[in-house]
Structure 1
Amino acid sequence: MELMNTTIFSNASAVDLDHCDWRCRMILIALYSVVLLGGTAGTIMMLRMMFKRKSQSMIAMIIPNIIVLHSILLVSLPFRLSYYVSVVWVFGSFACRVVSSIIYGHMYFTFVFYVAIIISRLLNYFKKLQMQRLQKYHVVVLSIVIWIVGSLVFLPIFFFKYGTDPRHSEQQRCFEFYKDLNHREFIVINYSMIVIMMTTVVALFLIKMAVIFQMIKALWPDMWAHQEYRAQIKSLFFLLVIVVCFIPHHAFRIHFIQNYSEKEDSELVLYNEICVALTTVCCLDMLCFIGGAIH
């Protein structure tokens, strides 16, 4: 019996090594562990700070949405870690689809809330939006709209398309849904998301830089004494998080889609999995809040 169990585990490991070898798994275990520990600590500390301060600013009212997203992702990470440690998925194919899809849902929903914060600051600078006139219920309505619209887009893809190929349920493997990129509809969806995110980030970055340089020119050398300048610099933080955590995944995705082959995929899968894992690092943003980078 012991020999049989050893053989089964060895076969599972051999199958897994064709897709995500030991080096890949060690990198992912380390990265996800850091995100799990740092993200959990940051989320708890941020919640305590918010309960104490009870700020009514727009950013403070959007932050709970981001905390909810981070919390959902953090709950899913132990399942990922158990798989990369044991090399066997024992929770069933549906759970695999859920855990796998959470990381993408978290990325895109977080992206939308980050963009909402950045745009609100820009509108405030251009006097299109007076923050003092922005009531709490406006932000609540905006949050509800984002959740509803995002769910209407995301859930149909998950329930009817994502991970439904019978190949994904075999041999107790998980997180290999990149194989669906051989299907035209997934290629279209991926390219569409790449274009949307890249275009949005470039446009916001150019506008944000123009605004900051204009303010530096007008307020130099006392720009740090002005609240609006500090607010623009602080909101730039969210744009930098997007660039560091989300853009590498989408930039590499173009190369991955064009070059992926199930016969020779080891290096591409390694880099793809690392880029996917990198998107979760945005969970550490709460530690930056606690550290005083953003208030």
Structure 2
Amino acid sequence: MGVMNGTIMSNGSSTDQDYCNAFCRIILITVYSVVLFGGTIGTVTMSYMMFKRNSQSAIATIIINIIVLHSLLLISLPFRLSYYLSAVWKLGSFACQVVSGLIYGHMYFTFVFYVAIVILRLLIYFKKLQMQQLQKFHAVVLSIIIWMVGSFIFLPIFFLQYGTDPSYTEQQQRCFEFHRSLNCTDTIIINYSIIAIMMTTVLSLFLLQLAVILCLIRDYWPDMWAHQDYRAQIKSFFFLVVIVVCFIPHHAFRIYFIQNYPKEKNSKLILYNEICVALTAFCCLDMLCFIGGIIH
């Protein structure tokens, strides 16, 4: 009887869940392994450097928040790798929600802290804020506000909207398959709102940051690297590049996914969506760029 029930459940789930075949798992295992290895080295090394320097600057405080976010995601990656290696989830539905939620929480909180760095440096450039006025205390207060407001918004949305479909409870051995929640109108509206906010914010800051850098190049050429304000703006631009490379592809594809998946039930769309989600974790390698001297 147990074998029969297991067979029925396997057959029932195979129509929609076989999207992640062996080739899919190889891609995801490779991506998450690279992120786990490189991200751990970057995060540990950067943490040591920050502790050694004991910097009191506001930007350094925000960087510490990003390191904490990277650490939380890296802790969850062995669970993802174990699942993709064995194709069986053994930790229950709540643990699946938590591990799944961490990658989204990491992405959105990291995005907010990246944006905070960019805006602070732009305010300093436009003389709206003095570096002397920006102390560690202000960054700590800002960080607390971001964590509290972000958690107040993110946690209810994720845990009340994702993973609530009754079909999830029937598949205790599977995980990270919350795409069926897109059949819910509220979830669709939330996704479109997030995409619109992120796209608008990134486009506006990207164009403004680029204009500032071009102005600095014009003023300081050819010795612009000798000026601290130029180097600071280049670092801000680097964070925007990370957002564009790691986060925007997922959200751009998300628009197409939302419009087509509920109609077509296309397993390839689910595969591409999972890969785009995995690519967001590559932002954990940002600290390697600083350590390796790519961004001085």
What's the C-alpha RMSD, in Å, of the aligned pairs? 2.1
2:89 and 2:175 in contact (8 A); partners too: yes
The equivalent residue for 2:63 is 63
Equivalences for residues 87-166 of structure 1 within 5 A: 87-166=87-166
What is the Cα deviation at residue 99 of structure 1? 0.7
Listed as ranges, the gaps of 5+ residues in structure 1 are none
1:245 and 1:281 in contact (8 A); partners too: yes
What is the Cα deviation at residue 254 of structure 1? 0.4
What is the Cα deviation at residue 7 of structure 1? 7.4
Listed as ranges, the gaps of 5+ residues in structure 2 are none
Equivalences for residues 204-219 of structure 1 within 5 A: 204-219=205-220
* Cα distance between partner residues in 2 of 1:183 and 1:43: 37
What is the Cα deviation at residue 104 of structure 1? 0.5
* Cα distance between partner residues in 2 of 1:60 and 1:281: 21
What is the Cα deviation at residue 18 of structure 1? 2.1
Report the 3-state secondary structure (helix = DSSP H, G, I; strand = E; otherwise coil) of the residue aligned with 1:260. Answer: helix
* Cα distance between partner residues in 2 of 1:186 and 1:269: 17
Structure 1 runs of 4+ with >3 Å offset = 6-17, 261-264
2:287 is the alignment partner of 1:286:
yes
Question: Relative to structure 2, which stretch is displaced further, 152-161 or 88-97?
Answer: 152-161
Aligned sequence identity (%): 72
Deviations 1:39-60, CA, capped at 9 Å, x for gaps? 1111111111111111222221
1:179 and 1:262 in contact (8 A); partners too: no
Shift in alpha-carbon separation, 1:88–1:13, aligned structure 2, 3 A: farther
Deviations 1:192-246, CA, capped at 9 Å, x for gaps? 0000000000000110011111111222222222111111112111000000000
What is the Cα deviation at residue 162 of structure 1? 2.0
Report the 3-state secondary structure (helix = DSSP H, G, I; strand = E; otherwise coil) of the residue aligned with 2:127. Answer: coil
Shift in alpha-carbon separation, 1:264–1:12, aligned structure 2, 3 A: closer
2:161 and 2:181 in contact (8 A); partners too: no
Report the 3-state secondary structure (helix = DSSP H, G, I; strand = E; otherwise coil) of the residue aligned with 2:129. Answer: coil
* Cα distance between partner residues in 2 of 1:9 and 1:40: 38
2:178 is the alignment partner of 1:181:
no
* Cα distance between partner residues in 2 of 1:85 and 1:11: 21
Count of residue pairs the alignment pairs up: 292
The equivalent residue for 1:81 is 81
Shift in alpha-carbon separation, 1:57–1:75, aligned structure 2, 3 A: same
Give the AA of the match of 2:234.
I
Shift in alpha-carbon separation, 1:110–1:211, aligned structure 2, 3 A: same
2:97 and 2:159 in contact (8 A); partners too: no
2:21 is the alignment partner of 1:21:
yes
1:73 and 1:106 in contact (8 A); partners too: yes
* Cα distance between partner residues in 1 of 2:161 and 2:14: 28
What is the Cα deviation at residue 12 of structure 1? 9.8
Deviations 1:157-197, CA, capped at 9 Å, x for gaps? 13322211121122321111011011100100000000000
* Cα distance between partner residues in 1 of 2:240 and 2:161: 31
TM-score by length of 2: 0.93
What is the Cα deviation at residue 15 of structure 1? 6.2
The equivalent residue for 2:203 is 202
Question: Relative to structure 2, which stretch is displaced further, 84-93 or 285-294?
Answer: 285-294
* Cα distance between partner residues in 2 of 1:39 and 1:262: 37
Equivalences for residues 254-265 of structure 1 within 5 A: 254-261=255-262, 264-265=265-266
The equivalent residue for 1:277 is 278
Give the AA of the match of 2:232.
A
1:234 and 1:293 in contact (8 A); partners too: no
